Amino acid sequence: MDSGAMWTRMKAHRWTYGLSILATLSIGILIGTVISSEVKGKEGQGKSDATPLTMPSSSSAGNGFSQQLSNAFAQVAKQLEPSVVNINTDSTIKNPHRRRGQDDDDNDGMDDFFNHFFGGPGGQNPFQDNGPIRERALGSGVIVDPKGYIVTNRHVVEKADRIRVRFEDDPPGVQHDAKVIGTDSETDLAVIKVDVDRALPAARMGNSDNMQVGDWVLAVGSPFGLSETVTAGIVSAKGRDIVPGRQFQTFIQTDAAINPGNSGGPLVNMNGEVIGINTAILSETNAYAGVGFALPSKTVVDVYNQLTGPEHRVSRGSIGIMFDQVENPAIARVYGTGSGITVSTVVAGSPADQAGLKVGDTITAVDGKKVLKGDELVSDIASRKPGSKVTLTFIRNGKQQEATVTIADRAKLFAARLGEDRDSGDDNTPKPSKFGVTVRKVTPEMADRLDMPAGKGVIVQEVKPGSFAEDVNLGRGDIILEINKQPVNSEEDFTRIEASMKSGQDVVFLVRPRGSSRQDGTIFDAGTLP
C-alpha cells in the first residue's frame, strides 16, 4: 500500500455533503440554460442544413454483446433493488464545548431550578454539563429473509440511538424502526430486523468462492444518500487482507464504484446473487478512487447464521498464540523447519500455555492435517467449538512433538485486544427504556417551587434522542401526571406502567409543560409505541 493511500470504512454519509452536491448540479443546469439561449440567438436565423435526429424503435435494438450485457445489468438491477434498503441512524455525541441552555429557545430561567435540584455546574447535572448533540448518518443494507432480517455493516449501526429503515416501495417520509439482532466486530457485520406484517423481498445468497478475477459484478446502495444506485465493475482481486491482524476480514476487491453511504449494501454477481457486502474503500479523499472491498458471502453466511442463533453472537475457537502475519523464510531456517507456523507469543494462562507450547515452537499439523500458513491454522482453530480438544504437531529444537490442547473462546481470550469484554455478563446492566425517558419523583420542595400539589407527578429528567418520548414532544422539565389515565406519582408508578405497554399500543401522557403554572393547565403528548 502506498504511503499516501489510506483505507477507510465507508462511513455513513452526512446530509450536509449531499446538499452541497445538489447545489452544484443546480448551478450547472442554470449555466447550460444560458449557453443554450446564446447559441440560439446566434444561429437561430436562416435555414438550417441540420439533419433531424430520429429515435430507433425498440424492436430494432442491437443484439450484439454490448446490448446483451446491458440487458443483463438491467435485469439484475431490477431483481435486486427491492431487496436493498436505506438505513438511517441517529446518534448522540458529547460536545464538551457547548452547554445546554446556551442556544435553546426554551431557556426560560428554569435552568436555575435544575441546577438546584439536580446539581450545579461542575456536578452531575444531566441538563447542564456538556449537553449532547445529535448526528444523523445513512448507510445501506440488504434483506436476506422475508421476515425482515437485514444484513449490513457493524459500523453503520454501532452507537446508534435509533435505527430506521426505508424500503424501495415506501412513500416519501415513511421509515420503519429496526432493532439490532447481533454484531461481530471482527468482520464488521451486523444483523438488524424490522417487524412488518408482510413478507419482504429477500435477496438470494451466492457462493463467493465461485467468483473469479474478471467476473462482472454490480454494487447496489445509497452513496451520498442517493438511494437505489447501481454501479458496475469486475472482481479485481480476491483474498485481500487490507488491515494487518484482522484475520477474519479477507475481502473481494472490485472497481465497481462504491462510496460513503454504500456501506452494508450488496455486491452481486450476474445471476443476481449476493456474493459480498460492501465495507471499505481505498482512497486519499474518502471518496471512490477505483478500489473498493466487499466481505465475501462465505463469511457473511457463517456470521449471519451465528448472529441469528440463540446466543446472537459469533463464537470462534482459539488456543492463545500469536505469530508473524507475513511469512519470513529466515524464521523457518533459524528455527530448523522448512514449513509451518512459528509461535511468537503464548498468552499467559491460555490453552497453548497450559499444554506446554513455547515461543519458537513451529506448528506443522492440526489433528494430523498439515498446515503451511497462519491463515490455515487460524481458520481451522476458529471453526472449532470452545471446549473441544485438538492435537497439535510441532517442532521444537529440531524434534517433532505433539500436544493436546483444549479450544477456548477467542472473544474471551482476547477480550482486551478486541476491545470487547464479553466475560462481563452483567445482568444488572440497565435495559433501555421503552419510552426513552428518565424521571424523578416530584419532592415536596419541588412541588412548592413549581406551585403544584405535593406527591403528584414525576418530572422528566432526561429524554433520549430519537426515542418515543422525543417523538411525542416530551421534554426535560415536563411534569408527567398520568399515562393512559393512570396516575403517575413516583418512579415506581412510571416503571410499572411503562413495562405494561406493548409495541403498537397508543400511549397518552397528561403533562404539565416545563415552566407553566397551575393556571396554565395541562396538555396531552401522545403517540403509538413503536
Q: Is 490 a catalytic residue?
A: no
Q: Which amino acid is at 413?
A: L
Among the options 83, 222, 236, 263, which is catalytic? Answer: 263
Among the options 90, 111, 184, 188, which is catalytic? Answer: 188
Among the options 83, 155, 222, 255, which is catalytic? Answer: 155
For cell 493511500, name the residue: 5
Q: Is 263 a catalytic residue?
A: yes
Q: What is the dihedral of CA 354, 356, 357, 358, to 10 degrees?
A: 110
> How far from 334 is each of 77, 100, 265, 341, CA to CA, in Å?
55, 64, 47, 13
Q: State how beta strands 317-318 and 149-153 pair.
A: unpaired
Q: Is 188 a catalytic residue?
A: yes
Reading the block at residue 329, the C-alpha cell is 523464510
CB 449 within 8 A of CB 114: no
DSSP 478-517: -EEEEETTEE--SHHHHHHHHHH--TT-EEEEEEE-TT--
CB 189 within 8 A of CB 265: no
Question: Would you say the C-alpha torsion 233, 237, 238, 242 has a positive or negative sign?
Answer: negative
Helix (H, G, I), strand (E, B) or coil at 226: coil
DSSP 286-317: SS--S-EEEEEHHHHHHHHHHHTSTT-S---E
Where residue 148 falls (left for φ over 0; alpha for ψ -120 to 50; beta otherwise) is left
CB 205 within 8 A of CB 145: no
Helix (H, G, I), strand (E, B) or coil at 394: strand
CB 502 within 8 A of CB 490: no
CB 259 within 8 A of CB 52: no
Which of these, 114, 150, 152, lies nearest to 12 by C-alpha position? 152
> Which residues are the active-site residues?
155, 188, 263
